[in-house]
Structure 1
Amino acid sequence: MEQSTRSGGDVVPKIAAVVGFLVVVELTSGVIQGYFTPLHTDLARHLGIHDADVNWFEAAQLLVSAVTVPVLARLGDMVGHKRVLLLSSAITVCAAWGVAFAPNFWLFLIAWALMGPYVVWLPLEIALVHRRTKGDSSRTRTAAAVLVLALEVGVIAGALTSGALQPVIGMTGLLAIPAVAITACFVVIWFGVPETPPTGSHRLDLPGAALLCGLLLAVMAGLMLVRFVGPGSPWPWLALVVGAGLVVPFVRHELRHPDPVIDVRLLRERRQLSVQLATGLFGFSVLGAQIPLSTFARTDPDVTGYGLGASAGGVSMLIGGYVLSMGLGAVTAPALAKRLNEFGALAVAACLVALGYGLNVVSHGSVVGLLVNMMIAGIGSGALVAALPVAAAGAAPTSHTGQMTGLTNMAKTVGGAIASSIFALCLASAGQTEDVGDHAPLGGYLAVWAICSATAVGAALLLWRARRVSGGLKPD
C-alpha cells in the first residue's frame, strides 16, 4: 500500500508537466483553427474566387486529414506518440510556410491541404496521457479538458489576432504568423514532450493502410466531384461506388491481419461503435459549419437582405464567444460525467449542439441572437471534443488507445468532409433565383444549420443508447 501511494504521488506532478508542454501544442492547434476564419472572405477576394469556393480549402484539408490521421495514430502506438507528433508537426510547418507564400489558388489549395496532419495532435496527446496514467479515465478526462481549453484559447487568440491585423498588414505577412507559431510548436515538442514506450508490432499494416487510403480518397473525391461537376454527372457516383466497393476487402484484410491499421473487431463493441458513429455525425457541425458561419456574418444585409455585415474583427468577436463557450463545455464535462455517466454526459452535450443550431434556423437576424445560439452549441461542442476521444480510449485495450482516439478524429474528419461538400452545394445553389452577386443564398445557410441540428440529434440518440449499455446513471 505504501508503495502504491508513493507511486501515485509521483504520477501527478509528472502528468502535470507533460500536460503543460502539450498545452503549448494545443494552443498552436487552436491558432491554426481560429486564425484563418475571419479571413475567409478576404482570402476569396485575394485569390479571385467565389465565397462558396472557400469551402474547398476546408474540404481539401479534411481529405488529407482523413487519409493520414488513422495511419499516424496507429504509428503512435507502434513507434511512440512523441515521434509521430514530431513528424506531423514537421509536415504542418512546411505546409504553413507554403500557404504564406503560395502565388496562386492551386498552390495555396495544395499547401493548405497538406496542413491536415495537425488534426492528429489531440488524439495522440490523449493516448499519451492515457498511457502515462496507466488507463486512469478520470485523470485522462481532466487532462483532456485542460488540453481542449488550451485549444479553444488558441482559437480565440488566433481569431482576435487576425481580425486585428487584417486592416494593418498585407496578406503574406498575415499568413506567415501561423507558420511562425507552428515552427515554435515543433521545438516545444522536440525538447519538452516525453516519449511513451511503443507497444505491439513495429511493422505497419501497409496493405491495410493502402486499402484505407484508397477507400477514403475515392469517397472524398466523389464528394468533391459532386461540387465540381454537379450531382447530374456520373463521375461523382462512380468514385463513391469505388470507395464503397473497397469496404469489404478492407474489412476482410483487417480481420485477418494480426496487427491491423484499424482493428475492426473493436468496433463490434457497442460503446466503441456508438462513439465512432456519433463522432462522425458531430463532425458535420464542429467542422463543416465554420466557413458558412463566417461568410454569413460577413454578408452585407444592405445588398442581400440577410447577413450581419460584420467586419473581420466583428467575425473574430463572434467566433471568440463561441469558442469561449466551447472551453466552458470542455472544463465542465468531467463533472457532468461523474453525475450521470460518461455516455449520459455526451448525450446531453449533443442535445445542446442540436438546440443551438436549431435556434439558428429561426433566429439569425442579429449579432446577439446568433451569438447566443452559437454559445449554446459551443458548450455542447466543447464537451464532445474533450470527452469523445477519452470515451474511445476507455473502450479500447492499452495497445490500441492511439488507434481508437485517432479513429474518432478520422470519423469526425470524414463527417466534416461530407458536410463541407453538402454545404458547398447548399451555398452555391442560389445565385440562379436570388440576385446576390458573389454571396451565398439565405436558403443555403438555413439548410446548413438544419442539417447540423439533425446530425447532432442523431449523435445524441447513439450516445444515449450507449449510456444504457454502460450502466445507466451510475458514475464511471
Structure 2
Amino acid sequence: MATRTTRSVGAITFSLVGFLFLVELTSGILQGFYVPLIPDLVDHLRIRDGDFNWFEAGGLLLSAIIVPVFSKLGDMHGHKRILLISTALTAGATWWLAVTADFWSFLAAWSLQSFYVVWLPLEVALIFDRGRRTGTAASQTRRAAGFLVVALEAGAIIGALGASAVLAAFGGDLMLTLFVPAVAVTLVFFAILFGVPESEPLPGRSLDLVGFGILTLGLIVITSGLVLLREDAGMMGLLGVVGLIAAGLAILVGFGFWVLRRPDPAIDLRVMRRPNMWPVLVTAGLFGISVLGAQAPLTTYAGTDPALGYGLGLSSGQRSIIIGVYLVAMITGALVFSAVSRRVAPRLSLIVATAVVALGYLLFLPFHLEAWQVITNMAIAGLGSGALVAALPAAAAAAAPRGQTGIAAGMTNTTKTIGGAFASAIFGVVLVAGVTGDETAAPLSGYLTVWAICGVGALVAMVLLFFVPKLAFADVEEDPALSPSA
C-alpha cells in the first residue's frame, strides 16, 4: 500500500513538473525576448539609450517587493491560487507593453510585468508540498528545480533568438511582435488553471501588512540610493547615495525589531537565522552579484576594441553566441544538479556549485585576452550558476518549517535581486571611474575589479556554506499529526 501511494504521488508530481516546465519556459521567453529589441524599443518610445535603465530599475524594485509578499500569500491561501493571480497580472502588463507608446506607460507596464519573478518560488513550494507526504519532498524538489531551470534558460534562448525573427516576419511591426510574449503568458495561465493541483495551505495565518509596509519602504529607499549611485552627480550626489542607503538600512533594522515581536510576521527572522537557512540566503545575495550584476560588463568587454590592449572586438551577433554559450552552460549545470541531487549530499552540491562559479570568474584575472579564454571562463561560471539557480530555492524550501516553504524559497530570489542591484550600481561606478577625456571604453582595471568581486563573493559563499549542518536539506518523513486533513 505504501508503495502504491508513493507511486501515485510521484505520478502527480511528474505531471505537475510538466506543466510548471511550460510556466518556466514562458518566464525565460519573457526574460530573453526584449533584449534584442532594445534599440527598436528606444526608437519606438523616442527616448535615449540611457533612459532604458529606468525600466531595469523599476523592474528590480518591484521584484524585490513582490516576491516576499506573494510568497507569503501563497503559504496562506494556496500556491496555485497566487501563481494564477501573478500570471494574470503578468499577462495584463505584457499586453499593455504591446499597445503603449509613451515612456511612463511603458515604464509602469514593464515594472508590473515583473510579477513573473515570483513564479519559480511558488513552483518550488508547490512541488515541495506535493512530495511532503512521501518523505521525499526535499530530493524531489531538488530534481524538479533542476528541470525548471532548464526550461527557464531554454526559454531565454528561444526568446532571444526568436525576437528578431518574429520582428522580421512581421515586417518590422513592433506592436505585432510584442503580441507574441503576451499570447504566451495568456496561454500559460490556462495551463496552470487546468493542469496544476493546489497545495495545502496552513490555516490560521495572517498577513503582516505593517511589516511588509516597512520592508517595502526600506527597499524603495535603498534602491533609490542605488539608482542615484549610477548617476554622475559629484560629491553631493555621493553624500545623497550614502544617506539614502544608510536610511534604508536603518528602516530594515526597524523592520527586524517589528517582526521579531509578531506571532505571524511578514518574514519570520527566527527561521531565517537558523544555521541551515541563513548561509543559503547570504549565498543567494552573493550569487546575485555575478548572475545579475556581471552580465552587462561581460557583454561590453566582449565588444571593446582590442586595439586598447584588451577586449575582444566582437560584433553584436558574435556577442550573442557567447551569451548563448553561457546559457547552455547554465542548462547543463541545472541538468547535472538534477541528476546527482539524490546521490550527493545537498550541502556538498551547494559548496561545489559556488566553488565552480568562483573558479570561472577568477580565471578571468589571468585569462581574458582571447575569445576562447572568455568563452571557457563563462562556460565554467555558467555550470555553477545553473546549479545554484536550481539548488538555492530548493534548499530554502527544505529548511523551512511547515507553512513557510513559499516565503523561504522567495527570500532566496529577493536577496539575489538585492545583491544584483547593489553589484550593478557598484560595477557601473567602477567601470566609469577610470574613464578620462573623450574615452568611452571602460579601463581594464575596472573589468578586473568586477571579475575579482564576483569570484571572491562566490568564495565567501562557499565558506559560509560549511556552517550549514551536514544533514541539512535531507528528506524527512512528515508527522501525520501535522497534516491539515488529520
Whether the TM-score (by the shorter chain) exceeds 0.5 is: yes
Deviation at 1:314, TM superposition (A): 3.1
**2:341 counterpart of 1:343:** no
Deviation at 1:163, TM superposition (A): 4.7
Deviation at 1:53, TM superposition (A): 5.7
Q: Decide whether aligned partners of structure 1 residues 228 and 104 sit closer, same or farther in structure 2, where only a CA change above 3 A counts.
A: farther
Residue number among 183, 199, 204 corresponding to 1:201 in the alignment: 204
- Which stretches in structure 1 are left out of the alignment for 5+ residues? none
Q: Distance in 1 between matches of 2:121 and 2:88?
A: 17
Question: 1:374-453 alignment to 2 at 5 Å?
Answer: 374-429=378-433, 431-433=435-437, 435-436=439-440, 440-453=442-455
Asked if the contact 1:129/1:140 (under 8 Å) is kept, the reply is: yes
Aligned residues: 469
1:125 partner letter:
E
2:332 partner letter:
L
Residue number among 190, 195, 216 corresponding to 2:193 in the alignment: 190
1:397 partner letter:
P
Which residue number in structure 1 is paired with residue 483 of structure 2?
none
SS of 1:309's equivalent? Answer: coil
Which residue number in structure 2 is paired with residue 271 of structure 1?
276
Q: Decide whether aligned partners of structure 1 residues 118 and 146 sit closer, same or farther in structure 2, where only a CA change above 3 A counts.
A: same
| Residues 318-355 of structure 1 deviation map (CA, whole Å, 9 limit, x = unaligned) | 22211111111112114544454211111111111112
Q: Decide whether aligned partners of structure 1 residues 382 and 296 sit closer, same or farther in structure 2, where only a CA change above 3 A counts.
A: same
Asked if the contact 1:218/1:242 (under 8 Å) is kept, the reply is: yes
| Residues 259-290 of structure 1 deviation map (CA, whole Å, 9 limit, x = unaligned) | 11100001221110000001000011111223
1:130 partner letter:
F
Which residue number in structure 2 is paired with residue 145 of structure 1?
146
Residue number among 81, 84, 92 corresponding to 1:83 in the alignment: 81
Q: Distance in 1 between matches of 2:403 and 2:158?
A: 36
Q: Decide whether aligned partners of structure 1 residues 440 and 89 sit closer, same or farther in structure 2, where only a CA change above 3 A counts.
A: farther
2:125 partner letter:
A
Q: Decide whether aligned partners of structure 1 residues 249 and 110 sit closer, same or farther in structure 2, where only a CA change above 3 A counts.
A: same
Which residue number in structure 2 is paired with residue 12 of structure 1?
10
1:422 partner letter:
I
Deviation at 1:432, TM superposition (A): 3.1
Residue number among 70, 73, 77 corresponding to 1:72 in the alignment: 70
**2:115 counterpart of 1:112:** no
Q: Decide whether aligned partners of structure 1 residues 353 and 57 sit closer, same or farther in structure 2, where only a CA change above 3 A counts.
A: farther
**2:350 counterpart of 1:352:** no
Residue number among 211, 222, 227 corresponding to 2:225 in the alignment: 222
SS of 1:199's equivalent? Answer: coil
Which residue number in structure 1 is paired with residue 260 of structure 2?
255
| Residues 103-142 of structure 1 deviation map (CA, whole Å, 9 limit, x = unaligned) | 3444433332222221111110000000010162111111
Deviation at 1:148, TM superposition (A): 1.1
Deviation at 1:217, TM superposition (A): 1.1
Q: Decide whether aligned partners of structure 1 residues 201 and 443 sit closer, same or farther in structure 2, where only a CA change above 3 A counts.
A: farther
RMSD: 2.8
Asked if the contact 2:285/2:415 (under 8 Å) is kept, the reply is: yes
Asked if the contact 2:66/2:115 (under 8 Å) is kept, the reply is: yes
Which residue number in structure 2 is paired with residue 236 of structure 1?
241
Asked if the contact 2:225/2:245 (under 8 Å) is kept, the reply is: yes
Deviation at 1:226, TM superposition (A): 1.6
Question: 1:51-66 alignment to 2 at 5 Å?
Answer: 54-66=52-64
Residue number among 22, 25, 32 corresponding to 1:27 in the alignment: 25
Q: Decide whether aligned partners of structure 1 residues 408 and 309 sit closer, same or farther in structure 2, where only a CA change above 3 A counts.
A: same
Q: Distance in 2 between matches of 1:155 and 1:147?
A: 12
Q: Distance in 2 between matches of 1:387 and 1:402?
A: 15
Percent identity between matched residues is 46
The farther-off stretch of 220-229 and 292-301 is: 292-301
SS of 2:267's equivalent? Answer: coil
Q: Decide whether aligned partners of structure 1 residues 366 and 98 sit closer, same or farther in structure 2, where only a CA change above 3 A counts.
A: farther
Q: Distance in 2 between matches of 1:109 and 1:422?
A: 23
1:83 partner letter:
R
| Residues 369-394 of structure 1 deviation map (CA, whole Å, 9 limit, x = unaligned) | 32221111111001101111111111
Deviation at 1:24, TM superposition (A): 0.5
Asked if the contact 1:267/1:273 (under 8 Å) is kept, the reply is: yes
Q: Distance in 2 between matches of 1:176 and 1:300?
A: 37
Which residue number in structure 2 is paired with residue 287 of structure 1?
292
Q: Decide whether aligned partners of structure 1 residues 285 and 399 sit closer, same or farther in structure 2, where only a CA change above 3 A counts.
A: same
SS of 2:128's equivalent? Answer: helix
Q: Decide whether aligned partners of structure 1 residues 290 and 89 sit closer, same or farther in structure 2, where only a CA change above 3 A counts.
A: farther
Q: Distance in 1 between matches of 2:195 and 2:262?
A: 35
**2:316 counterpart of 1:328:** no
Deviation at 1:202, TM superposition (A): 4.3
Which residue number in structure 1 is paired with residue 318 of structure 2?
314
Q: Distance in 2 between matches of 1:434 and 1:446?
A: 22
1:151 partner letter:
L
Q: Distance in 2 between matches of 1:367 and 1:253?
A: 52
Q: Decide whether aligned partners of structure 1 residues 86 and 205 sit closer, same or farther in structure 2, where only a CA change above 3 A counts.
A: same
Deviation at 1:235, TM superposition (A): 2.3
The farther-off stretch of 335-344 and 209-218 is: 335-344
Q: Distance in 2 between matches of 1:172 and 1:306?
A: 36
TM-score under structure 2 length normalisation: 0.88
2:462 partner letter:
A
Residue number among 457, 460, 463 corresponding to 2:462 in the alignment: 460
The farther-off stretch of 445-454 and 208-217 is: 445-454
Asked if the contact 1:337/1:475 (under 8 Å) is kept, the reply is: no
Asked if the contact 2:312/2:371 (under 8 Å) is kept, the reply is: no
Which residue number in structure 1 is paired with residue 182 of structure 2?
179
Deviation at 1:41, TM superposition (A): 5.6
Q: Distance in 1 between matches of 2:261 and 2:138?
A: 31
SS of 2:276's equivalent? Answer: helix
Which residue number in structure 1 is paired with residue 470 of structure 2?
470
SS of 1:385's equivalent? Answer: helix
1:23 partner letter:
F
